[in-house]
Amino acid sequence: MDISNYHELWLSPDPDQPAMSESFIELTEEFYGEINRAPIPIDISVLQQLGKPRAMDIYTWLALKKFWLSKRNERSFTFTWETLEGHFSPVELTTWVQRRDFRTEIKKCVASIAELWPEVGAEVTAEGLLVHQGPTPIPPKPRRKLEFR
């Protein structure tokens, strides 16, 4: 699914260099409708504090997986390293050094997330990432019932 019709991103490697204009992303109607139909309850301030794209992705993914665990009524689930590589590595990891570095980065991201979301209930293990059932970062809102008149 396309997520954007149009965007302008003004990024500078120098954080002290102001952009000449504001960055923005115009979402497609289809994507906007989808995120409204099935929102992921995340805390935007945590995303801002994490700052790193991979940590932000893992935070959002963990929020979704916590919700998923509660719906499946499972206490915990281990996502294997192979699964995590498929979700979060932009390239295929073919050497033990690449895999080691990837696992180290995931461990750092989970530690950063746990500082901002102490109830995250996720731990890095030799098998992968063990996620325990628990609250999402923000409690999901109950679905509203629409009345037709």
Question: Residue 147: its pLDDT value, please?
Answer: 58
Question: Residue 34: its pLDDT value, please?
Answer: 83
Question: Residue 35: its pLDDT value, please?
Answer: 78
Question: Residue 51: its pLDDT value, please?
Answer: 87
C-alpha 82/C-alpha 90 separation (Å) is 13
Question: Residue 71: its pLDDT value, please?
Answer: 82
Is residue 46 within 8 Å of residue 116, measured between CB atoms? yes
Is residue 28 within 8 Å of residue 6, measured between CB atoms? no
Question: Residue 143: its pLDDT value, please?
Answer: 63
CB atoms within 10 A of CB 75: 9
What contacts 75, CB < 8 A, 6 or more positions away? 69, 132, 133
Q: What are phi and psi of 114, to 5 degrees?
A: -65, -30
pLDDT along the chain (149 residues), means of 10: 83 69 84 80 90 93 90 91 95 96 97 96 96 86 59
pTM, two decimal places: 0.74
